[in-house]
Amino acid sequence: MKELSIFIDESGDFGKYQPHSPYYIVTLVFHDQSLDISENIRKFRETMLRYDMLEYIVHAGPLIRRENEFSYLHFSERKRIFDGLFHFVRTTDITYQPIIVEKENLTDETELVEKITKQLSRFLSDNLETFTEYDRIIVYYDFGQLELASILVDNFYKLFSNVDFRKVIPADYKLFQAADMFCTVELLSLKATAKTLSKSEVAFFASERDFRKSYLKAIHRKRFSGQPPKIK
């Protein structure tokens, strides 16, 4: 049986536009279950264990900003943890697709729902041939935002009869943390283009140029290309 796992995470909310949160981003991470990633997960777990972070979810944004459980860590430790997650994402047989909506000119929540729905529906329809090669599709989401959950359920069930949804605990799935990394890097890319990166974000990567060269370029190579989700 050919099985495709899809892990989904989001950045932003369905509230009104706020200058500190101008975008709504959804990332879908694809893993063909025939591709063994156990060694990648083992190495990533070893990295997290080294910094006593094994039981934590590595949220890339708070890690960069030195927030929450990362507040007591020195810069060098946070950088190594981030690079450990980045290496896991970059070298694992997964791909991703971002859905990005700029909220500034939206009139209400309904318009945001419409724009997300259109992008998701178009992407799934355009790649229908690839997805229908699988006997089973399992969508993993934590149902953290019910508005997004409703969009996902409606669109997937409309196109696929072999899809199942599973509510996940993010700490239990390393690919959920990969989805968070993709969200974060896509957001940083948008902020870099708009020249709105914070001082702490620029300092974390040494410079905007280094961020684009060493991180963004590698992440964009993981974009879904209409082919089975396998690393090149």
- Domain containing residue 176: CATH number: 3.30.420
91: left (phi over 0), alpha (psi -120 to 50) or beta: alpha
Residue 231 belongs to some domain of the structure: no
Residue 230 belongs to some domain of the structure: no
Residue 225 belongs to some domain of the structure: no
Residue 160 belongs to some domain of the structure: yes
Q: Where are the alpha helices (DSSP H) in the chain?
A: 38-50, 60-65, 75-91, 109-126, 128-131, 146-159, 174-193, 199-204, 208-211, 217-220
The overall average pLDDT reported for the chain is 91
- What percent of the chain has a predicted confidence (pLDDT) above 90? 74
**pLDDT tens digits, one per residue of 26-72:** 999 999 999 999 999 999 888 888 877 666 678 899 899 998 878 88
Residue 227 belongs to some domain of the structure: no
**Two tokens, residue 8:** 């989904």
Residue 72 belongs to some domain of the structure: yes
Task: Identify residue 11 by its one-letter amino acid code.
Answer: S
Residue 47 belongs to some domain of the structure: yes
Residue-number span of the structural domain to which 166 is assigned: 3-220
Residue 226 belongs to some domain of the structure: no
**pLDDT tens digits, one per residue of 126-145:** 999 999 999 999 999 999 99
Domains in the chain, number: 1
Residues in the chain where the model's pLDDT stays below 50: 228-232
pTM recorded for the entire structure: 0.92
